[in-house]
Structure 1
Amino acid sequence: MNTEDTYLRSVERMLHTIAPTHRTAVLDDLRGHFADAADAGRAVDETIRGLGSPQEIADRAIEEFGADAPAVDARAERAWRVLQGTALGVSIVIGAVAAFIMPTQELVTTSVDPDGLVTMTPTATIAETMGVGAALLALIPALLTAIPLVVPRTARAVSALLCDAALTCAAVVSWFVPGDIFMPAAMLAWSGLIVWRYLSSGRGFNWIWRLVGAVLTMMPIVGFLLILGLSLPFGAMPRRYADYSDVDGGGPSVGIEGGGWVLGVVVAVLAVFLIIGHRWTGWALAAIGAATLVSALISGSLLITMITWIGALWLTIGLSHAIATPRRR
């Protein structure tokens, strides 16, 4: 694909908010400019400099023709439904795991071997310890994510804002339910509200947004590398399922196995393509995030909370990018 085709495709993607007839007219006009420039012997790069960047072309076209309101509204609505619906599904799964599968730290057994190794093992779930009624409180986050989906659209923004704030509070305030594992639902819910409001305005997500998403995507990888490089201990490592063993009181250390290095490289490559703006990158990153989230919930790892948050971050960024990026034509 040559420079002219790349330029025209970029312009076309940025014109997704105007009516198809106007979009076709703008692209035909640009092709005419390129043809005239070629007849005059001017280079393609020179012609592009004269026309302006794809974003400048799109801004002028939207200012002249206006956004295609039905198309903009449908796209924003679809993004909202996907992200908020995913937040609901995630909160239901995590609520069920937290209440009926995950052993609670409220009831543990402690043993010490001859070498002085102390092992603390959770032995009962919330449902077994406090009863089914108390365990059902773990599904309150699911209720908070469901409310904005059923209220009238006129009340959606306010209800979503209030419910997302309450969900965030539930995620950071741990009682007998490990609230921190509800952060994935909070991430998705906030993303749904932000993407919906932004797309409803007729604007697209430019390279700055994509760069921010790529930086956030890489933060867990960079964090692990810093931990390894500085040999930092995990004295306060969150633990949910697994036995916790400690010899010297400093907490367990952390390492990355071969599969982890492969995952880190794949995520780093996806972060680069995220900046470029490829839609498939979002779906790939979302799939990796969902797999990471599920594996954390079922593995019983000492790092369950951290891995859950990382998976949720990748799922949120990937899904938001995939549904907010126009299809390539």
Structure 2
Amino acid sequence: MSDLVTGDAVVLDVSPAQLPIRAAALLVDLAVQAATVIGVLLLVARTATVTDDSLATALTILFIVLVFVGYPVLAETLTRGRSLGKLALGLRVVSEDGGPVMFRQSLFRALAGFVEIYLLTGGPAVISSLLSAKGKRLGDVFAGTMVISERGPRRTAPPPEMPPLLAAWAARIELSRLPEDLIHTARQYLARLPELSPAVQQEMGTRIAAQTAAFVSPPPPPGVPPYAYLSAVLAERRRRHLERLTRRAEARRASAQQVPPYAAPHLAPVHTAAPYTAVSSTAAPAGPHPAVPGPASAGPHPAAVSTGPAGGPRPPA
């Protein structure tokens, strides 16, 4: 790990790229450059039949220099420090203060790299990288840059704690308009507060607190130090965020308990009519059979005549 101090005196945690990873990224870039050079040579060989040899040689040298110098300059300028090889391995070229690399710096790096890497077979670049604490080659030293790894581990500072005297005030402040970049700046300031001088602590704290106060209302009580004010704002924001996450998790659990993952549909019972059975003349039902009305002129239906215990007809009452 290494520390970069920005122009605002904010210390950033960065991981300088190690020599093997930079060599692997260089191999990827060399493969791209070699393919481009081969294509250029084939094009020049076809045009050599209509031009003289001196012009063909001059065009070849010009194109080779443009490929090996112009490619890193163009790639790092347009992508803010990431060529194809660096993009594949998670590397980036930055200024010494952590800012994006500029065109002038990329040009210095490319010109120095053409000499120390291609003409001198990489010997000076390897020696300089091994002797530098930040892994700088000669091009980085001349240009004021360094190569960092964006996939390396980062140190995480503990979250800021709520000052007890500001807890009641922080519980009723409005934080919805607070921008993320300002939150990140305040968090970095509080994380590096013990490493800053008292003058820098006061100057930076006052400036960041004034920027934060433009998005937070109501204002804090009078006489609150900047670091305490920022700690209260960040701690309250974190508390509200955790509460929202907790409510969402409880709502999901409650909905999962109320609605089972699979329930068989309830089917109403189907009532079917009993099949028609003819009444036997020898066997009668045990109880009285309901009379089935028939035509008025036809008289009583045979099934309406009940039988006695001996099987004969029962006299009417």
TM-score by shorter chain over 0.5: no
TM-score, normalised to structure 2's length? 0.22
Question: Which of the pair has the greater relative contact order for Cα pairs under 8 Å at 6+ separation?
Answer: 1
Larger radius of gyration: 2
Name the structure where helix makes up a greater proportion of residues.
1
